[in-house]
Structure 1
């Protein structure tokens, strides 16, 4: 596993969380999953997160609202947004606040892997 490189998945869809977590673990990274933005923001692993994979549309706080809260507090965590409902407005807002990638569901595993590797690096510890 990578040292202190937790990838946090924030998505209200359990099947998406589990499938994404499985892929990320297969690449050698530690994964934590959260059903909501609120749960992620109050988690003890928040400070150890190296990258966030986040849905845009969720009940309660949306992914974009979570990103805005992070930016307002001075935290610029790398975020990969994934959404089943892409829109130009959402993409623009995400990009304005520093999103690294904006992917459409279902996400292509190879493309997703390239995104993660560009953020976290491709070397894995054995």
Structure 2
């Protein structure tokens, strides 16, 4: 039996993390919550993360800097940005940097779930 996908939520807003946690669990997935990029980078069993939902603007490392660091390390799961900070330059930087998707808050639930399922299908 395949394991249930685990989604990391990296967002400095506790209310957003809790809302995403509820949404993820309602769709039958597991979640791990992180309040900043550094907290995620300190998380050792990153291989158990199947996909990430990441905010762009956070104190410390931004979402784009987290993406660059995971690319440098070569151990990042698919990353979906979910952000209210949506300008063309940021979107292009994220997608050109290897982000799986770039979604605007408030996110459409069916779009988000579709992106997650597509990301899971690309995992080895």
Assess same fold via TM > 0.5: yes
Alignment of 1:15-54 (within 5 A): 15-54=15-54
TM-score between both structures, scaled by the size of structure 2: 0.90
1:89 paired residue number: 89
Alignment of 1:1-126 (within 5 A): 3=3, 5-121=5-121
Inter-partner Cα distance in structure 1 for 2:49 and 2:60: 22
Aligned length: 121
Inter-partner Cα distance in structure 2 for 1:102 and 1:23: 18
- Per-residue CA deviations over 1:14-61 (Å, capped at 9, x if unaligned) read 111011111111111110000000001111342211100000000000
Q: Please, what is the CA RMSD of the aligned residues?
A: 1.6
- Per-residue CA deviations over 1:63-110 (Å, capped at 9, x if unaligned) read 000000000112242000011110111111111111111000111111
Question: What secondary structure sits across from 1:28 in the alignment?
Answer: coil
Which protein has greater RCO, CA pairs closer than 8 Å, 6+ apart? 1
4+ residue segments displaced more than 6 Å: none
Gaps of 5+ in 1: 122-126
